């Protein structure tokens, strides 16, 4: 499979670099276009993909096209490549775009997506990734409404599972799933920064504080995933009667910690509704 990236931002770089590093895709089977050709060339030298001079050139070279540009740029990119996309598959990592969004956009510009009519777009898979993909611990949400052939969908799962966890969600849950996994790294980073500040307040060097809290978050997450235990059960196991941990838990509850976590998601949902 030859894969072409339209857009080579941080997330596209993380995916391409991860596939190459893990031996999942040969760098000579990866193509990419980005408007900043100088930056594209530098990334190509580092990762090994083949830089291209235009979006059309990428589509012509690839079997599967990864839409990695900004969501607001996609319609103009689709217009630019036009019928070059016929016979190709599309994997989109753009927030907010769905199978139906792509179908509607192609209908507007007259690109054939009807599988019963012969030569058409081969299929579409919409994916919501997150930044931990950069270290092989990403979350990739696959939209359940997908028009890829089954064999190609399985190949997509294989490639993305090499960089983390794949979860398939119905279209109506892609939003909330993305808020948790896509926005979530920022919330976890804020949590780690706050606890590191507390460590510094009481004498720890900042680098040590970051190392301790980062490993604690990593280890706690892995413990939950490996054991499958309810987070409350794992929390209880650390809380001894009249101990230090339960004292800290009580302070978090008094400060509305869990409520604040839920309210930050409420804020995102309300923003999207507005």
Share of the chain above pLDDT 90, in %: 93
Cα 220–Cα 212–Cα 247 angle in degrees, nearest 5 = 70
Per-residue DSSP letter, 65: E
pTM for the full predicted model: 0.92
- Give residue limits of the domains in the chain: 3-169, 185-273
> How many separate helices (H) and strands (E) can be counted in the chain?
12, 8
* 270, two tokens: 């309300």
* pLDDT tens-digit series, residues 29-62: 999 999 999 999 999 999 999 999 999 999 999 9
* pLDDT tens-digit series, residues 78-132: 999 999 999 999 999 999 999 999 999 999 999 988 877 768 899 999 999 999 9
Q: Which CATH number is 185-273 given?
A: 1.10.3730.10
Q: Is 272 helix (H, G, I), strand (E, B) or coil?
A: helix
Give 3-169's CATH code, choosing from 3.40.50.720, 1.10.760.10, 3.40.50.2300, 3.40.50.1370: 3.40.50.720
Q: Are the CB atoms for 166 and 142 separated by under 8 Å? A: yes
Residues paired with 143 in a beta bridge: 169
């Amino acid at each position: 499979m030859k894969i072409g990236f339209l857009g080579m931002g941080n997330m596209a770089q993380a995916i391409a670099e991860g596939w190459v590093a893990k031996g999942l895709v040969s760098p000579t089977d990866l193509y990419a276009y980005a408007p900043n050709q100088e930056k594209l060339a530098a990334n190509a030298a580092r990762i090994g993909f083949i830089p291209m001079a235009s979006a059309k050139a990428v589509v012509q070279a690839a079997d599967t096209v990864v839409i990695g540009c900004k969501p607001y740029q996609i319609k103009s990119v689709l217009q630019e490549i036009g019928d070059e996309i016929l016979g190709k598959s599309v994997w989109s990592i753009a927030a907010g775009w769905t199978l139906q969004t792509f179908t509607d956009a192609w209908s507007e510009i007259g690109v054939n997506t009807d599988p019963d009519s012969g030569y058409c777009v081969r299929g579409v898979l919409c994916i919501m990734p997150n930044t931990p993909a950069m270290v092989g611990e990403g979350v990739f949400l696959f939209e359940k409404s997908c028009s890829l052939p089954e064999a190609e969908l399985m190949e997509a799962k294989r490639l993305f599972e090499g960089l983390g966890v794949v979860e398939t969600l119905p279209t109506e849950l892609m939003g909330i799933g993305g808020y948790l996994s896509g926005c979530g790294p920022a919330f976890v980073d804020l949590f780690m920064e706050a606890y590191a500040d507390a460590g510094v307040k009481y004498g720890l060097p900042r680098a040590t504080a970051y190392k301790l809290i980062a490993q604690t978050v990593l280890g706690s997450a892995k413990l939950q995933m490996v054991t499958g235990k309810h987070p409350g059960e794992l929390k209880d196991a650390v809380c001894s009667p009249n101990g230090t941990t339960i004292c800290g838990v009580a302070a978090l509850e008094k400060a509305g910690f869990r409520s604040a976590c839920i309210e930050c998601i409420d804020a995102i949902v309300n923003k999207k509704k507005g």
